[in-house]
Amino acid sequence: MSLINKAETDLANARLDRKGLMTRVSEMTLLWKVMSLVIFASAWEIAGRSGFNFSFPAFTETVAAFFEMVVDGSMGSAYLKTMEALVVGLIISLVVGISSGVAMGLRRDVEWITLPVFIVMQAAPMAALIPLVTFVYGIGLTSKVIAVVMLAMPVIAINSYKAVRNVSPSMVSMCHSFMGSRRQQIIQIILPASSSMMFAGLRLGIAEGFSGAVLAELLITPTGIGDLITYHRSVANFAHMYATIASIVIFAIVTVGSLQWVENILFRPETRSS
Amino acid sequence: MTTATVTKYEGNLDAIQPKNPIIEVDGISKIYNGDVHALDNIKLNFETGHLTSLLGPSGCGKTTLLKIIAGLLKPTAGEIRVKGKAVSGPGRERAFVFQDFALMPWASVIDNVAFGLKMHGMNKAERNEKARHYINEVGLTGFEDKYPHELSGGMRQRVGLGRALAVDADVLLMDEPFSAVDEQTRRKFQEDLIRLREIEKKTFIFVTHSIEEAVYVSDRIIMLSPRPGRISQIIDPDIPKDVSPDDLRRNEAYLNTVEEIWHVIKKYVE
Amino acid sequence: MRIFGYRIPMMASLLVWLVIWEFIGQFELVLLFPPFTEVLSALGDVTTSHSFAGAMQVTATSYVGGLLLAIAVGIPMGFLMGLVPAADKMLNMWVNTFLSAPLSALVPVFMILFGLGTPTVIVTVFMFAVWIIVLDTRAGVLGITPSLLEMSYSFKASKAERLKIILLASLPEILAGLRLGMIRGVKGVVIGQLLVSIIGVGALFQLYQQNFQMAHFWALIVILFTIALTLAGIVGRIEKRIEYYAGARN
């Protein structure tokens, strides 16, 4: 079994500097990723051309439709419209989420009253509330922002809370032993120490935020990206519809992925959360 | 009191290699990734019924050699023969005791001890009876239904030992079995090991990095040097058996042997 | 939290929130929240209504169907990635992609491919749940100490027996993944039905919305939320029962 070989290679890798060619090739993760993408695109192309479903476009068709929309500006303006709700919602989620998370982490009484609410919000299908919100606040930007906040804030708050709780007590004691005030303990020790885990929570929250923005578009009223999707679906421009959906998915993944990259650079490996 | 015999390995196998070996290591080499020689052409025989230690600094290949003998690793070159027959994987005649115990945390003590027997196809009633016998022998009577997380490190290793004894293997291969427990437990284990040897009449091959431990328990010490892994010396500590365990640790022959070996190893550590 | 020296469990604060809810509702402070007592009485109405049983059935079928599919695909995939490095390198990218992607955006695609009915919801549940199951199963398998496998190999255990050991040794992580998968699955089943909108609870929500029955809407939400939390709690309990050996792994 390969795990036995893993033990063997770990033993070897622990004491050598040069690796053989085959080892280096098999470790080139970029190569594997590219191969994986190529296989995916080819499978898509074949499936599309096979005509198994009249509404399933081939890969090349979808890419062409995407560029068409970029060129005629519809893609750009759609994104701008959708980003409104997303950005506003995320800013609110971050500010409120991080501050409540930190407050919960620092004070037991705040934790008692607030944490259960966030736990419920994170585990429960908050999407069900979106139609209700629309009911009360209409179909405008407000409802969409609320949708984003409802999905993004709980995970940010809980992660910030956990980050603060995870700070090593001995580090705080150390600050205390050098006559640091509570304020200094918070600013000098707790906030820096919890920043990497908080950043991870931020990353998760942003992923949820995208989900909220898309749901808002599809459930409340389509503007921006949602508009493009529903319009092209209604006129059976399936390639365009798929292209739009793929673009928002890719955009979300790239954003979250670059946050991961930033996270890896900003925070030294030894303090990085997994 | 006799002093220890220190024999230098000089390529003349016949003089010191056992005539009646249970395990023959014939030209074993292990090379990683084309240029790291973990083991280089090891030729060695292990006498039936003896306790032989593999001793040396980190990176000398002793654990690698033990695992090759056990059939857990494949050598790059060479052959292992057990009772004259070549082997390439694990076998019923060899049982392994692991440094980190390798117990199944979801299984009780008795199920852990009976595991090897289960793999050999014994039915439940028989293997549980046998397991109980060995649980008794390693001093864990009463703990049959306990789980690993309820046991101390020393007790967990006894379970590992019991499991290896239960399968009635001819050879017991032990990979630094006492290094993960505290000093007091370790000493007790060493004394128990000597007593066990008298009762069980098996062959033991023992990897350790503790000189005192090797000298204390072994009939023969094989010293390996690192990079590449080769046999540097073979030492037969001829420590008198009639001395009590506590006195033995202060015995002159014992202490001198330890000192000698330390001088040899020192070169590689510096 | 202590009052007069008596320790009050954390979840009790939810009761405080319910009181606050009632207060807000009675005084119409926030339009979004009708009085909680109204919601409670609407509960009776909702659960006994004709369409509720049908809606719950659709929800239950799609949820269980999607989840079973996710387990059947997810655990073996996690094993594959944990044991075969080549598979891991190829699939890791996709698993991480789908974990952070806005899956709701894919539902319109499912609706086209699988129609406007239960199959789409099943697929949605599957897509929401499977990735975390794969990831956690993989983590469990990768986290097994090599010596445990060496040990089984040294006692000449059969491949089936060794697979069983791998399964048991990674069970704590697998159950954690399952719990998270079940929570995501509930989100999936709700989102799926909301977007398809003509079946199950999606249709019910539409109905209440059109008739301005806010208390009923909330009652249905409370029911869904309770189901979600109860399921999470149950798996959490099971996790606790095997927790004892998670710590004893070397």
The residue ranges of every structural domain in chain A are: 1-52, 59-271
Arithmetic mean of pLDDT over chain C:
87
CB–CB of B105 and C169 under 8 A?
Answer: yes
> What CA–CA distance (Å, rounded) separates B175 from B214?
13
Q: Which amino acid is at C89?
A: K
Confidence grade of residue C69 (pLDDT, cut at 50, 70, 90): very high
pLDDT on residue B36: 84
pLDDT on residue A24: 60
3-state helix, strand, coil in chain B (%, to 5): 35, 25, 35
CB–CB of C248 and B98 under 8 A?
Answer: no
Q: Which chain A residues contact residue C147 at CB under 8 A?
A: 7
Closest of A136, A148, A88 to residue C30, by C-alpha: A136
pLDDT on residue B97: 92
| Percentage of the residues of chain C whose pLDDT score is greater than 90 | 36
> What CA–CA distance (Å, rounded) separates A218 from C110?
14
Q: Which of C144, C149, C154, C240 to mutate to test the interface with B (most CBs of B within 10 A)?
A: C154
CB–CB of C100 and A257 under 8 A?
Answer: yes
Encoded tokens for A173: 């004691």
Q: Which chain A residues contact residue C194 at CB under 8 A?
A: 127-128, 130-131, 219
Q: Which chain B residues contact residue A11 at CB under 8 A?
A: 32, 38, 64
Class of domain A59-271: mainly alpha
Residues 130 to 149 of C: which have CB under 8 A from any A CB? 144, 146-147, 149
Q: Which of A1-15, A110-124, B167-181 has the lowest mean pLDDT?
A: A1-15
CB–CB of A20 and B73 under 8 A?
Answer: no
CB–CB of A120 and C195 under 8 A?
Answer: no
Closest of B226, B225, B206, B224 to residue B216, by C-alpha: B206
> What CA–CA distance (Å, rounded) separates A200 from A272?
9
Residues 3 to 62 of C: which have CB under 8 A from any A CB? 8, 10-11, 13-14, 16-17, 31-32
Q: Which chain A residues contact residue B226 at CB under 8 A?
A: none
- Per-residue pLDDT tens over the stretch C82-131: 999 888 888 888 898 898 899 999 999 999 889 888 999 999 999 999 99
CB–CB of C245 and B105 under 8 A?
Answer: yes
CB–CB of A23 and B33 under 8 A?
Answer: yes
Count of CB atoms within 10 A of residue A37's CB? 12
CB–CB of C150 and B105 under 8 A?
Answer: no
Is it the case that residue C166 has pLDDT exceeding 60?
Answer: yes
> What CA–CA distance (Å, rounded) separates B226 from B129?
44
Q: Which ipTM did the prediction report? A: 0.84
Which residue, chain included where needed, has tokens 């196809």? B121
Sort strands B171-175 and B203-208 into parallel, antiparallel or unpaired: parallel
Interior CA angle at B128 toward B126 and B132, to 5°? 120
> What CA–CA distance (Å, rounded) separates C61 from C119?
10
Residue of A nearest to B32 (CA): A12
pLDDT on residue C112: 87
- Name residues whose C-beta falls within 8 Å of residue A272's C-beta, 6 or more positions apart in sequence: A196, A263, A264
Model pTM score: 0.81
Confidence grade of residue C207 (pLDDT, cut at 50, 70, 90): confident
CA distances to B7, B219, B237 from B2, in Å: 15, 14, 10
pLDDT on residue B1: 38
Is it the case that residue A264 has pLDDT exceeding 90?
Answer: no
Against chain B, the chains showing at least 3 CB pairs within 8 Å are A, C
B141 CA: distance to closest CA in chain A (Å): 33
C242 CA: distance to closest CA in chain A (Å): 22
- Name residues whose C-beta falls within 8 Å of residue C202's C-beta, 6 or more positions apart in sequence: C192, C193, C194, C195, C196
CB–CB of A123 and C89 under 8 A?
Answer: no
CB–CB of A124 and C228 under 8 A?
Answer: yes
C13 DSSP 8-state letter: H
pLDDT on residue B256: 85
pLDDT on residue A271: 46
CB–CB of B98 and C151 under 8 A?
Answer: yes
pLDDT, greater one: B57 or C135:
C135
Average pLDDT over residues A151-162: 94
> What CA–CA distance (Å, rounded) separates A193 from A172?
10
B206 CA: distance to closest CA in chain C (Å): 16
- Nearest by CB to residue B73, choosing from A8, A18, A20, is A8
pLDDT, greater one: C89 or A145:
A145
Peptide bond into B148 cis (omega under 30): no
Q: Which of A13-27, B109-123, C184-198 has the lowest mean pLDDT?
A: A13-27
Query: Tens of pLDDT along chain B (270 residues)?
Result: 344 555 555 555 555 677 778 899 989 999 888 788 889 888 899 988 899 999 988 778 899 999 999 988 899 999 999 998 999 888 889 999 998 888 888 889 999 999 989 888 889 999 999 999 999 999 999 999 999 989 998 999 999 999 999 999 999 999 999 988 888 889 888 888 888 888 888 999 999 988 989 988 898 999 888 888 888 888 888 777 677 777 888 888 888 888 888 887 887 776
| Percentage of the residues of chain A whose pLDDT score is greater than 90 | 22
Q: Which of A1, A27, A142, A220 to mutate to test the interface with C (most CBs of C within 10 A)?
A: A1
- Nearest by CB to residue A128, choosing from C8, C101, C221, is C221
* Length of chain B (residues): 270
Residue of B nearest to C151 (CA): B102
Q: Which of A176-185, B132-141, B196-205, C144-153 has the lowest mean pLDDT?
A: A176-185
Question: Which residues are C18's β-sheet partners?
Answer: none
> What CA–CA distance (Å, rounded) separates C187 from C194?
10
First to last CA, chain A: 27
Confidence grade of residue A4 (pLDDT, cut at 50, 70, 90): very low
Confidence grade of residue A3 (pLDDT, cut at 50, 70, 90): very low
CA C10 to chain centre: 22
Q: Which of A100, A151, A215 to mutate to test the interface with C (most CBs of C within 10 A)?
A: A215
Average pLDDT over residues A126-141: 87
pLDDT on residue B82: 92
CB–CB of C248 and B91 under 8 A?
Answer: no
Taking CB atoms within 8 Å and a gap of at least 24, the contacts of B234-242 are: B234/B7, B234/B8, B234/B9, B234/B16, B235/B4, B235/B5, B235/B6, B235/B7, B235/B260, B235/B261, B236/B4, B236/B5, B236/B6, B236/B7, B237/B4, B237/B5, B238/B2, B238/B3, B238/B4, B238/B5, B239/B4, B239/B215, B240/B1, B240/B2
Q: Which chain C residues contact residue B70 at CB under 8 A?
A: 154
